[in-house]
Amino acid sequence: MDPSHGKRRVLHSLESAERDRCVDIFMRPDGSFGFEAYRKDGEDGRGWYAIGGFEGVRYTSRLEAVAAARANVGWVDWDRHREELQNS
């Protein structure tokens, strides 16, 4: 797990239409950016857990992190979140 996990600021949390998966785009305290994919299992009540293994990769800008998330996480409806991602 990324050591800055508890200190990072989530800039975008993009849920799937089914609301059982999401991708967070975040900024770390050192100013770097990243993303992670999560899944929620509604039957066990444990909440969200990481499934992507991307959280440790560092990007120099929010746009780089978004581009990497788009390239690596195919199940997000990126068109549905376009306005949110452009207005930040």
Identify the pLDDT of residue 10.
95
More confident residue, 35 or 48: 35
Candidates 79, 52, 80, 75; CA nearest to 26 is 52
Identify the pLDDT of residue 14.
92
- Per-residue confidence at 4, pLDDT binned at 50, 70, 90? low
DSSP notation for the chain: --TTGGG-EEEEEEE-TTSSEEEEEEE-TTS-EEEEEEEE-TTT---EEE-S--TT--BSSHHHHHHHHHHH-TTS-TTTTHHHHHT-
Per DSSP, what are the bridge partners of residue 59? Answer: 33
In tens, the pLDDT along 23-42 reads: 999 999 999 999 999 998 77
Identify the pLDDT of residue 18.
87
Identify the pLDDT of residue 77.
79
